[in-house]
Every structure is written in C-alpha cells, then in structure tokens.
Amino acid sequence: MLLQSLTHYQRDRKRLGQIVAVLIRYGLAEQLERYEPDFVKRLLSHEDVGDLAKLPLGERVRRACQELGPTFIKFGQVLSTRPDVVSKEVATALQALQSNTAPSPIEKVIALIEQELGEPLQELFAEFERSPLASASIGQVHRAVLHDGRQVVVKVQHPGIEEIVKTDLEILIHLARFLEERDETIRAYNPTAIAEDSKRTLMRELDFRRELRNQQAFERNFAENPDVHIPDTVPELSSQRVLTMELLDGYSIGEFERLQAEGHDPSQLAQVGAHAFLTMVFEHRLFHADPHPGNVFVLRDGRIALLDFGMVGRLDDDLLDDLLDLLIGFVDSDGQAIARAVQNLAAVPADSDPVALRRDLAEMQDELAATPIDQLNVAQVLEQFTALVRTHRIRMPASIALLIKVLIMLDGTSRDLDRSFSLMDLLQPHCERAIRRRNSPRAQMRKAIETGRDWSRFLGRLPGTLDELAQNLQRRDLSINLQHRGMEATVDRLVSGILCAAMLLGGSLLWALQAPPTLFGISLLGLLATGVALVHGVRLLLQIGRRP
C-alpha cells in the first residue's frame, strides 16, 4: 500500500492524503487510481469530480501546484525550466505560477531575525519596516535602514517553511518512486531522479548563505561593467535564513510605459541585458537562471540591475565544449556532428533509435539552413529542439535545461522591448569568441597539461595495480565478474525449449513402449507427456514470434 509504505510521521500520511486529493480533483492521479484504487476511493467526494479535469493539462498542473502551497509552487517553477521533461505546454503554464503568499506574523519574523543574527532588532537596524514590501512562497522582504544610513532590504524566510518543504519533498520523491516501480512508461522519464534533483535545487534555495555567495560572485564578475549593477550585500547581517542587501532605486524592466515616460531607450536596454546574460554564459560560466522581468530592474541612471540569485546555472568546460559542438554542427549543416554532440551532452536512453534521432536532427537542421540567419527566431529553434529531445526521451543536464529556459525568456523579454531585436545577431559573436578561446594556444596547453597529469597519475598507479594482479594470479585468487543485461528472456526460452524437448522425447518413448497404465494399447502417461509438450511448444513458438 502507498499509505503504509510512507514511514516517518503521521502528519506525512495526512499530507499525502491532501496531495493525492488535489491531484484527483485536477485529473492528475490516473496512475495512482490504477495502482491504489482503495486509497484513492477514500479521498473522493462529489466536489472532486467536476469541470476542472476538462481544463488543459498545463492549466491543471499549474492550479494544482498553486493550491498545494509553497513547496509545489517552487517545484512547479523548477519544472518550468524542463520542457524536455514535462512538455512545452506544461512548462509554459508553470511559468505563470505566482509566489505571492500571506506574510508571516511580524513577531515571528522579528524573533527569527534576532535568533539568526544574535542581537536585538534595534541593535541590528536603525529602522525596520514592520509591513513587508512583498511576500513570496519561501520568504518575505522588509525595508530597513542601517545605523550608517544605508537603505537596505531584508529577505527573511517564513518561520517553519524549511520543515514544510522537506516533508513535501519526501512525499514527492516517495510518489515518484512508487509510480516508477510500477509503470514502465513513467519509468522511462526517470521521475525519481527529477524529484531528487528538484529537492537539491529547492534545499539550496532555502540556504540564503548560498544565495549570498552567488550574489557576491556576480558582483565580482560585473565589477568592471558600467552598464550592469549587482546589489551590494551585507554579509554581517546575513545568515542561513536572513539575507540583507542594498535597496535598489529602480523598477522592473517590464514596466514599458514607465520606461518610455522617463526617457529610457528600450532598444538599448534590450541590447545591454542580452549582452550581460550571454557574457554570463560564455565567459563567466555562471548565469542567472530566473531572468523574468521582476528580477531585472532599470535604475534611475539607466543601468540594468539583477535580483534574486537563489537559482543559478553553471557550465563547466566539458559542458560548454559540447554546447559549442552542437552549435557548430548546426552552423556547418553536419548532421553527424549534431547527433554526436547531443549524445555527449545528454543522457540518451539505451533503447533509443539512433537512426531516427539523426533523421529528426537532420530535418530540423535542414529547416534552419533554409532560413536566413537574420530571420532565425532563437526561441522557436530552442523550443523545437526541446520538443525533439523529449520525443526521443533524452534527458538534458539541468544546467543546459536552465540555459535553454534563460535564452527563451531573454529572447521574449528583449523582443518586448524592441520588436526588431535578434538574439542570433548577438549570440553569434559570443559563440565565435568562445570557440577562439577554446582553440587558443593557451587553452590547448592547459588541456595538454591536464592530460599529462592524468597520464602521470595512471602510470604512477600502474606498477602497484600490475603487482596486485600478479599476486592474485599466483594465489589463484583472480575472479572476473561478468554481467549480462537483457538476456533473461532468452535464457528462459532456452530452458523452456530444452524441457519441452525432453518431455516430448520421454512421452514418445513411453508411448512406444506402451508403459502402463494403457488404454486401447496407448500409454496414458506417454499421451499426457506428449500432449503437454506439444501445447507448451506451440506456446513457446508464438512467444518467439511476438518478441525479438
């Protein structure tokens, strides 16, 4: 039973019932109904069956996440970055999830701040506004003034939110594992790994110290850029659950009418913002992973400012190299190179059809080749590529999935600012510079040194390994473990065939010898054995004809 297998505490079981009841109401529990009909039936009520199940799938998933609260809102926001897993329709709907929640009681908020920072509130801040500027699923933000006169905002977690998130995430992983063990179609998408990846992402967001380090890294990366501003942090007034930073004098880049009223050039802002994000990807290898307009501000002096560094993406050298190989393959119209780059970049299922994958990639590449580069819509290309990847059940690395989402959002926001904006025009020189850096003598020398170190370590360990192997051979203590996969069915058929042949031979001998008991001179045991062997043989032939 699903309910019985959920250990831990009684409240976990109660919460599981609440979650499943919401999934039922929105028509999202078909698999659970199949495997746990009694448990699901107990949660049904008349109002559970209505028009909600007739809504589009993406809208149902979004509403269910919204109703289930903070953990599922954040989980939905994470899944909105994975159209390769949940489809474009669902991912797009999840991008509209709103994190606005009722603020926590101010007394509890102040108590948490004092507990985290170790001093009374009046000692920490000269002024502290009791009414929050905003309240989201994980925390709320208050305006404050430091004793040196600096105006800041204080981001505080909702008291008790960490325990709620942990409980919900454990239930999510439990549900994913339960369904994965029972449904081969669901298993192909590896939902347990996705749930566990999401748990790691959300638990990192709950640690404001990590967000503080991310923000400081962005401060260093853009220290010399006059067009981009990262808010200053106040580390001495920050902790795991409290984050204090500079109050920005600006507003969201999505307020287009206000931008024009105050004399800002939307086209210039689109160029500056896009350059900033592409610089993060191709030069810094560390990029802001949630660039919706609410996290991108325009300051009074016209600079771009970024907020909320809880979700970031990182690209190591290997990932960036594979990404560049993919881009080069599309530019050079090299279908084989594109297929190799996809296989290097992502987790391709063992049972996938490589011929079909190469064919679909080649068709996509042909469509791109027929379109002038100045007319290419990067967002449409990425969405088409994501749909292809999902069709072939290929799971992209989280960083690449985040990057695709960032580029799609960046293209959309930039086009809202400037209808003539082309992300491809900016993407091309950044890629070219990255390729030149990868092929530069310095980079090649670094790779040669790293390869030399690897060989040095290997050769250093080789004598000891060979000595151990020789000693095992002398002691006759050498064993080789061989594993075969996918041969169980073949072995079963082979054994069945041998038994069937033996039974047929034995039955024939009994029949020929007229072994008693007999009827009309026919051995009854021989007749029975021969009949069973023939029936089993026919069944075995039919199985072989149906399966490879």
The runs of H, that is alpha helices, within 250-377 are 256-261, 266-279, 317-331, 335-345, 354-369
pLDDT at 287: 93
Strand 250-252 relative to strand 139-145, pairing: unpaired
pLDDT at 481: 60
Q: How confident is the model over 337-380, as pLDDT tens digits?
A: 777 888 888 777 777 788 888 888 888 877 777 777 667 777 77
Q: Is 153 helix (H, G, I), strand (E, B) or coil?
A: strand
Q: Which residues are catalytic, by number?
A: 290
Token representation of residue 506: 């034995």
- Here the contacts of 17-20 (C-beta below 8 Å, separation 24 or greater) are 17/43, 18/68, 19/68, 19/168, 19/171, 19/175
Q: Would you say the C-alpha torsion 81, 85, 89, 93 has a positive or negative sign?
A: negative
Residues 6+ apart with CB under 8 A from 467: none
pLDDT at 148: 94
Residues 67-76 have a mean pLDDT of: 84
Q: How confident is the model over 301-337, as pLDDT tens digits?
A: 999 999 989 889 899 888 888 888 877 777 666 667 7
Confidence of residue 30 (pLDDT cuts 50, 70, 90): low
Q: How confident is the model over 250-288, as pLDDT tens digits?
A: 999 988 889 988 999 999 999 999 999 999 999 999 999
Query: How do the domains of the chain map onto residue ranges?
Result: 2-98+163-203, 263-451, 490-546
Confidence of residue 9 (pLDDT cuts 50, 70, 90): very low
Confidence of residue 152 (pLDDT cuts 50, 70, 90): very high
Q: Encode 20-58: b = buried (16+ Cβ within 10 Å), e = exposed.
A: bbbbbbbbbbebbeeebeebbeebeeeebeeebeeeeeb
Distance between CA atoms of residues 73 and 53, nearest Å: 20
pLDDT at 276: 95
Distance between CA atoms of residues 357 and 343, nearest Å: 10
Better-scored residue on pLDDT, 364 or 28? 364
Is the bond preceding 231 in cis, omega lying within 30 degrees of 0? no
pLDDT at 46: 44
Chain mean pLDDT for the chain: 81
Selection from 112, 106, 124 nearest residue 236 by Cα: 124
Better-scored residue on pLDDT, 210 or 86? 210
**Is 155 within 8 Å of 139 (Cβ atoms)?**
yes
Residues 480-487 have a mean pLDDT of: 56
Whether the per-residue pLDDT at 138 is higher than 90: the answer is no
Selection from 319, 270, 311, 307 nearest residue 289 by Cα: 311
Q: Percent of the chain having pLDDT more than 90?
A: 25
Q: What are phi and psi of 243, to 5 degrees?
A: -135, 120
pLDDT at 157: 94
